[in-house]
């Protein structure tokens, strides 16, 4: 059975997860993290992607990316993945695959979901009991988004910019979001959408995505699949 095409639309943020094969480690030393981030910045620029948030865990990676071209995210991950695997195989004298098949992803509705997805990404080390607070973890975008630490990789989304009129005000508002844990329901939504290649957002957003790609953008129900109308070109009307 052929794989479902990945949902990718121009100017729609995408949450990406790439895991190590069999959930094994893909970062072994500090230099590995640094190399990955350097190449992520290089290839993001080359493919026209804007990275809003990221976290590098020991055995997987989370990214939140926007791009004007629908296929830019896929191009970014292909270039980055190949370069990093070559590096790991050379340095650690290994061979074979490093990543667990294709990366997983989902389009993210901006209003009501994007900043929640950023929090989900940057809170990963806390949920994994690696640190008590996201600021304690070195390999994420939290310090850039919340504390103004220089990071050439991070390009804030317009919704982040809307948090305040000045950098210190935006950072303070962003830190305030982390005073509270993510709602369990939102965590489940993000995981379900990303692992299943579905739209992350409300029903209207999902319907608009479905109309543009010509197939459903949410989990199906039992029974015979219903064919959707032909894809419609245009810009999504976000709610």
Q: How confident is the model at residue 6 (pLDDT cuts 50, 70, 90)?
A: confident
Residues 46-55: pLDDT tens digits?
Answer: 999 999 999 9
In the predicted model, is pLDDT for residue 234 greater than 80? no
Q: Which pLDDT belongs to residue 119?
A: 98
Please classify residue 182 by burial: count the beta carbons closer than 10 Å to its beta carbon, then call 0-12 exposed, 13-18 middle and 19+ buried: middle
Element (H, E) at 166: none
Residues 156-195: pLDDT tens digits?
Answer: 999 999 999 999 999 999 999 999 889 999 999 999 999 9
Share above pLDDT 70 across residues of the chain, in percent, rounded to a whole number? 90
Q: Which pLDDT belongs to residue 101?
A: 85
Q: Which pLDDT belongs to residue 3?
A: 67
Alpha helices in the chain (DSSP H): 30-47, 72-91, 114-122, 124-127, 142-147, 158-161, 167-177, 184-196, 203-213
Mean of the per-residue pLDDT values of the chain: 91
How many other CB atoms are found less than 10 A from the CB of residue 186? 16
Greater pLDDT, 96 or 233: 96
In the predicted model, is pLDDT for residue 106 greater than 90? yes
The pLDDT of 101-107, averaged and rounded, is 93
Q: Which pLDDT belongs to residue 219?
A: 86
What distance in Å separates the CA atoms of residue 13 and residue 193, rounded to the nearest whole number? Answer: 13
The pTM (predicted TM-score) of the whole model is 0.90
Please name every residue paired with 98 in a beta bridge, in sequence order, or none if there are none.
none
Query: Whole-angstrom distance between the N-terminal and C-terminal Cα of the chain?
Result: 35
What distance in Å separates the CA atoms of residue 123 and residue 74, rounded to the nearest whole number? Answer: 25
User: Could you tell me the domains of the chain?
Assistant: 14-197 (3.30.70.1290)
In the predicted model, is pLDDT for residue 103 greater than 90? yes
At 99, is the secondary structure helix, strand, or coil?
A: strand
- Residue 140 DSSP code: B
How many other CB atoms are found less than 10 A from the CB of residue 155? 15
In the predicted model, is pLDDT for residue 236 greater than 70? no
The pLDDT of 127-152, averaged and rounded, is 97
In the predicted model, is pLDDT for residue 228 greater than 50? no
């Amino acid at each position: 059975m052929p794989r479902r095409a990945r949902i990718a639309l121009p100017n729609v943020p995408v949450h990406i997860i790439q895991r190590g094969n069999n959930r094994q480690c893909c970062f072994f030393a500090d230099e590995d993290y640094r190399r990955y981030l350097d190449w992520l910045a290089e290839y993001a620029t080359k493919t026209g992607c804007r990275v809003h948030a990221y976290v590098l865990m020991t055995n997987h990676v989370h990214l939140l990316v926007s791009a004007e071209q629908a296929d830019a995210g896929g191009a970014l991950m292909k270039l980055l993945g190949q370069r990093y695997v070559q590096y790991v195989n050379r340095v650690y004298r290994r061979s074979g695959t490093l990543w667990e098949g294709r990366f997983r992803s989902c389009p993210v509705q901006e209003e009501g979901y994007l900043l929640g997805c950023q929090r989900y990404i940057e809170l990963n080390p806390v949920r994994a009991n690696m640190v008590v607070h996201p600021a304690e973890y070195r390999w994420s975008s939290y310090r850039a988004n919340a504390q103004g630490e220089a990071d050439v990789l991070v390009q804030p989304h317009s919704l982040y910019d809307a948090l305040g009129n000045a950098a210190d005000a935006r950072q303070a508002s962003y830190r305030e979001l982390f005073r509270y844990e993510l709602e369990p329901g939102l965590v489940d939504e993000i995981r379900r959408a990303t692992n299943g290649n579905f739209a992350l957002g409300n029903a209207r957003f999902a319907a608009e995505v479905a109309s543009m790609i010509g197939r459903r953008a949410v989990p199906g129900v039992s029974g015979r699949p219903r064919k959707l109308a032909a894809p419609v070109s245009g810009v999504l009307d976000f709610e």
